[in-house]
Chain A
Amino acid sequence: MIDYHALAPELLLAGTVLAVLTVDLLRVEKYWVAVVGLFGLFLSFIPVLTLGFCDTLTFCEDTGTRFLFGESYAVDSFSLVLKALFLGSAFVAVLLSVGYLESDRFWQGEFYFLMLSSVLGAVVMASSRDLVTIFVALELVTGPTFLMAGWRKGDPRSNEAMLKFFIIGVLSAALLLFGMSLVYGTTGELTFAGIRAEAAGIRGGDLEALFTVGVLFTLLGFAFKVSAVPFHFWTPDTYEGSPTPVTAYLSVVSKTAGFVGLLAICYLAFRDATFLWGPALWVLAAASMTVGNLAALRQTNIVRLLGYSSIAQGGFILVPFGAAVAAGVTDVQLEEAFFATVTYLLIYAFMNLGAFAVIIAGGNRLRSAEIGDWAGMFGYAPGLATMLAVFFFSLAGIPPLAGWFAKFVMFRAVLSVGGGWAAALAIIAAVNSVIAFVYYAKVVKSAFMDPAPEHVAVADLARMPTVPSLQFALVLTVAGVIVLGIFPGIIAEIGELTKTFASGF
């Protein structure tokens, strides 16, 4: 018998996807498609809450972790927290898209259909507990985004963005599948629990080499998805060329989905193989932070800058994984590392979506993403400039904005592991947070302290309003960044809930 309560978020979201397509056929303003989408996202959020607070609700039978379809699909506090994150981020992403799509002749109904399908993939991803489900979920997340990246059909850069993204996406899917097939072949299991059990027997045997290759290729596939250096080269071009709301979506929802997959695979399936993924992800973390930040220093385009910044942020998110490099890392330390990654992802979603919301609002006015053109924004749009500062300083990790807590748990996870390699990673991260500060502060400096360039019609811009949907998105994210920064307990409690996940089944 299927537990429909546990599946309700997915079912409602799937229903919304169909409803969006239907509304698109009706003779109504295309605007309503977005409204239906937003409503559907909100509706899907309700069962996430009822499942999460099951123990306090009378009508709900609390069964702890709910497994469906054997052990392939699990609804536990980790998956619920991440589902809430995906639905919330998607809600903001739709808000960001509304004004953008209205502003030009874009196909609208299809856009929301694709975006919501991708969100459905992300929501499924959070519950996937076997190789096939996780692969299907990942492809469902990625597939629609290829099309969304090329939504500005007349713009060659958007086409280039789509093509690059598509080719790399397909390549990474192939690598991932190859890795998974080796893992399946050597262990004979698809579920993570089964793989973990079998993997213990493989060590020292004939199949160890093959299993190792399988693990590494699987990691490689995810490394592309989360755009970790050196598998990042598609990211800046795709981010710059895509419509900005799509970039926001890619950098938050799609990237987080990749990290969720990585978390599940590493902490469940390959739990006893930290000696394999620890060093590999150590290298990726160090490289992503360093390359991402150094490249971001040189950017003059604000979207491209955020592209590189998100590569670097991805590096920071990988740091707790890299902490597992130490020999004899204990279960408690791994739980801390897991907690740090989840907490970082939650906070990252708020601040990165907020940063993109500001960029879209500014882009609407200036029709330019060159940082030089953004100079002097404080003079004619003080509110927008202040929000820019809030999000960018949050990304830089300055308290009392939420980003500081993300950095704090990250440092804590890696330092509590101890040992030379972990300490080295902490030092690399510390140096990088200073480098990152340089370019975040540079953008704020430009907006606040430099005079506006002459070709910018300051008087006109001062009168230009921000689209209401965008205002709503800005308010949501600003409130999140400030409240979570001052009361990080909220986010930490949520992150704490997910820890049980890392302690196994």
Chain B
Amino acid sequence: MEFPALALLVLLPAGGAGIVALIPERRRDLILPVTVGLTMLPLAVALWILWEFEVGNGAFQLTERVLWFEPLGISWNVGVDGISLLLVVLTAVLFPISILASTSITKNVKMYMVSMLILETGLLGVFVALDLLLFFVFFEVTLIPMYLLIGIWGSENRVYAAVKFVLYTALGSALMLAAIIWLAVVAGPQLGGTTFDFTRLLDAELSSGAQLWLFLAFGAAFAIKVPLFPFHTWLPDAHTEAPTAGSVLLAGVLLKLGTYGFVRFNLTLFPDASVRLAPWIAAIAVVGIVYGAVVAIVQPDVKRLVAYSSVSHLGFIVLGTFALTTQGIQGGVIQMVNHGLTTGGLFLLVGMIYDRRHTREIADYGGLARVMPLYAGFFLFTAFASAGLPGLNGFIGEFKVLLGSYLSLPVHAVVAAFGVVLAAVYLLWAYERVFTGPVTKEENEKLVDLNAREISILVPIAALIVFLGVYPRPALDRIEPSVDVILERIEAQTDYDVPRFGTTAEIDLAAEGD
């Protein structure tokens, strides 16, 4: 048996939660450093996985399969491919950062860290699970820690936001559980027994009616998680009220469960339904792009602004996914990582200023660039990345998404392109109001610039933003073969032809030449 790297990856944080729980109350000061140390372990494993990953191979790698419970066809079945690989690494990177950013948590620190670590197990598990039931279990495991993180350590309206978050998600999960079982029951006779094994379920032939219903049930769960317009209303509340680390992880990783689910399960298991519904879902995504951006412009609360920008950015990812072209899906996947970095970075920055001033109102600031030049620099940099400035990571993702969707859904792509313009508007206008001009408020004059800890949090994110912006090739090379596997499958199962122009290599050259 090979070294079970993925099992280790997923279980390390859960084991870490046990260790943190054992730290005695009188050594509270140890809790944060120990937790940071513990999250470095899964990060190390994730980097090892990144290293071991064979480029150019679109199949699942490092797979492990242990029967969990045989008669019901449930197994510990995990693996990574190009689509999940970077999300696993992103998750492992964001956790130590978010925990370092949690120094302002003083109430029940131990419980907070335990929740964080369990959340990490759940998130890593979701991305590597290749058994539908295992996926469901991890999907649900993320629910409770997030509920507690928002509800206990959030700001004023936290309880309302927590309950709203958890109810929306629970509704989606109930649908998904029923759909998973139904799928296994429908596919069981064809496969010689009930199984929840994703790779085996791919062999089942589902009627186009069944595909449609199953697509909708899975899709509902993922659409709530993404969230797609009009299921997005929980998101601004949850984001705004959550503690900084909660917002970072919510935006950085949790929302990706939805988009990842669409790519991983909806496109592959229900190709016929995907082709039929793609223009509609893409249309909803475009509505979300524009709506999220327009609403973000008028937000007086800077955290809420970033939250609505998430709705807009996630719309791009879904648009790319349902463009059903190589560039579109590839752009969607890389954009999941990009959005995690940029929006995660923005939430970290908002959290840093909130720790100093305890207000998120844009109107309470002004001229901060004079008092906190370093902070202003980081903010502008991240905002540019988020708005898709060429040379930074946001550009390559959005460009690919627009290119890919232009091939199959030109009207959608044209409308979505306005989203890019609007993103520049809301981010730069917010920057202008917060940072430029004279210092208008007396309280802001004595603000201290970033300290060493805060810089050490922001630097890795900034480095990754630049790296992916300047040299996205290594990432794209890993994603592309897996995307091709999905599209080949769709072409084989339906009469859909993936529109292409030129070869991907040429387009990549065009993209990088910019």
Contacts and interface: CB of A to CB of B under 8 A. Distances in A.
A389 B151 CA distance: 13
B43 interface: no
Contacts of A445: 151, 159, 162-163
Interface in B58-85: 68-72
A386 B111 CA distance: 10
B174 interface: yes
Given A412-B181, A441-B147, A378 B152 contact: yes
B174 A438 contact: no
A194 to B, nearest CB: 33
A437 B181 contact: no
A433 interface: yes
Interface string B113-148: 000000000000000000001001100110110011
B152 A489 contact: no
A392 B185 CA distance: 29
A411 to B, nearest CB: 5
A448 B158 CA distance: 12
Given A412-B181, A434-B170, A449-B152, A492 B144 contact: no
A437 B170 contact: yes
Interface in B151-171: 151-152, 158-159, 162-163, 166-167, 170-171
B181 A411 contact: yes
Contact of B162 (A431, A433, A449, A489): A449
Interface string A415-439: 1101000000011001101100110
B23 interface: no
B215 to A, nearest CB: 17
Contacts of A412: 72, 181, 184-185
Interface in B178-213: 178, 181-182, 184-185, 188
A113 B178 CA distance: 45
A501 B174 CA distance: 31
B69 A492 contact: yes
Given A398-B144, A399-B141, A438-B167, A411 B178 contact: yes
A408 interface: yes
B152 A408 contact: no
Contacts of A441: 147, 163, 166-167, 170
A492 to B, nearest CB: 6
A123 to B, nearest CB: 28
A80 to B, nearest CB: 20
B144 A389 contact: yes
B162 A415 contact: no
Interface residues of B, number: 35
Contacts of B167: 434, 437-438, 441
Contacts of A434: 167, 170-171, 174
Nearest to B177: A411
A411 B147 CA distance: 25
A488 B137 CA distance: 12
Interface in A372-422: 378, 382, 386, 389, 393, 398-400, 404, 407-409, 411-412, 415-416, 418
B36 interface: no
Interface in A460-505: 488-489, 492, 496
A314 to B, nearest CB: 19
Contacts of A416: 185, 188
A427 B184 CA distance: 17
B136 A399 contact: yes
Contact of B181 (A408, A427, A489): A408
A404 B72 CA distance: 14
Given A407-B177, A448-B148, A492 B143 contact: no
Contact of A415 (B111, B140, B178): B178
B137 A404 contact: yes
A398 B166 CA distance: 12
B174 A404 contact: no
Interface in A188-220: none
A437 B144 CA distance: 12
A489 B171 contact: no
B494 interface: no
Interface string B78-111: 0000000000000000000000000000001001
Contact of B158 (A418, A442, A449): A449
B180 to A, nearest CB: 9
B111 A382 contact: yes
Nearest to A429: B178
B40 interface: no
Nearest to A489: B69
A139 interface: no
Given A434-B170, A441-B147, A404 B185 contact: no
A408 B136 CA distance: 11
B428 interface: no
A415 B151 CA distance: 35
B175 interface: yes
A450 interface: yes
Given A408-B181, A434-B171, A438-B167, A399 B71 contact: no
Contacts of B184: 412
Contacts of A430: 174-175, 177-178
A389 B145 CA distance: 11
Nearest to B147: A441
Contacts of B158: 449
Contacts of B175: 430
Contacts of B178: 411, 415, 426-427, 430
A299 to B, nearest CB: 17
B182 A415 contact: yes
A496 B70 CA distance: 11
A280 B279 CA distance: 45
Residue with the highest number of chain B CB atoms closer than 10 Å, among A389, A411, A426: A411
Contacts of B137: 399-400, 404
Contacts of A400: 137, 141
Contacts of A449: 151-152, 158-159, 162
A232 B127 CA distance: 44
B181 A448 contact: no
Contacts of A411: 177-178, 181
A430 B179 CA distance: 10
Contacts of A415: 178, 181-182, 185
Contacts of A437: 166-167, 170
A442 B143 CA distance: 15
B362 to A, nearest CB: 28
Given A407-B177, A408-B177, A489-B69, A398 B133 contact: no
Nearest to A385: B111
Nearest to B158: A449
Contact of B71 (A378, A418, A450, A496): A496
Contacts of A433: 174
Contacts of B166: 437, 441
Contacts of A431: 174
Contacts of A389: 144
A448 B151 contact: yes
Contacts of B182: 415, 426
Nearest to B150: A449
Nearest to A417: B185
A434 B221 CA distance: 13
A488 B69 contact: yes
B112 to A, nearest CB: 12
A203 B255 CA distance: 58
A470 B270 CA distance: 51
B225 to A, nearest CB: 15
27 contacts: A378-B111, A398-B143, A412-B181, A412-B185, A415-B185, A418-B185, A427-B178, A430-B178, A433-B174, A434-B167, A437-B166, A437-B170, A441-B147, A445-B151, A445-B163, A448-B152, A449-B151, A449-B152, A449-B159, A449-B162, A450-B159, A488-B69, A489-B68, A489-B69, A489-B70, A492-B71, A496-B71
Given A399-B140, A434-B170, A441-B167, 11 more contacts: A378-B111, A393-B144, A398-B143, A426-B178, A430-B175, A434-B171, A437-B166, A441-B163, A441-B166, A441-B170, A492-B71
